[in-house]
Amino acid sequence: MVEKPIAILGLLLIISGPSMLMAWFKLRQRNLSPLLDANGWAVNTNAKVSIAFGTTLTVLASLPKGAERDLKDPFA
């Protein structure tokens, strides 16, 4: 009874494991050029992302001063 889920999990790991490992190594390089190239931007150099630049890209937006948030849906 226990052998089936373990076999399915093992098969899933054998199939997707190498691609997950390759993706992890590529993401560890912190290089934006493959992502930009996939989106149609022609970048012929490595666009390295520093820690400071990565932090800038992931900052949450806030409302400007004097702005109010209206949670009523006009299309409801």
Q: Is residue 57 part of a domain?
A: no
Q: Is residue 15 part of a domain?
A: yes
Which pLDDT value is given to residue 40? 77
Decide if pLDDT at 14 tops 90. Answer: yes
Total number of domains constituting the chain: 1
Q: Is residue 22 part of a domain?
A: yes
Q: Is residue 73 part of a domain?
A: no
Domain carrying residue 9: 1-28
What is the per-residue pLDDT across 22-68, written as a single tens digit (0 to 9) for each? 888 887 877 777 777 777 777 667 777 788 877 887 888 888 999 98
Q: Is residue 8 part of a domain?
A: yes
DSSP calls for 2-22 = -HHHHHHHHHHHHHHHHHHHH
Which pLDDT value is given to residue 44? 67
Q: Is residue 14 part of a domain?
A: yes
Q: Is residue 68 part of a domain?
A: no
Which pLDDT value is given to residue 1? 64
Secondary structure element (H or E) that encloses residue 52, with its range: helix 51-57
Tell me the whole-structure pTM to 2 decimals: 0.40
Q: Is residue 75 part of a domain?
A: no
Name the one residue in this structure whose structure tokens are 């997950």.
20
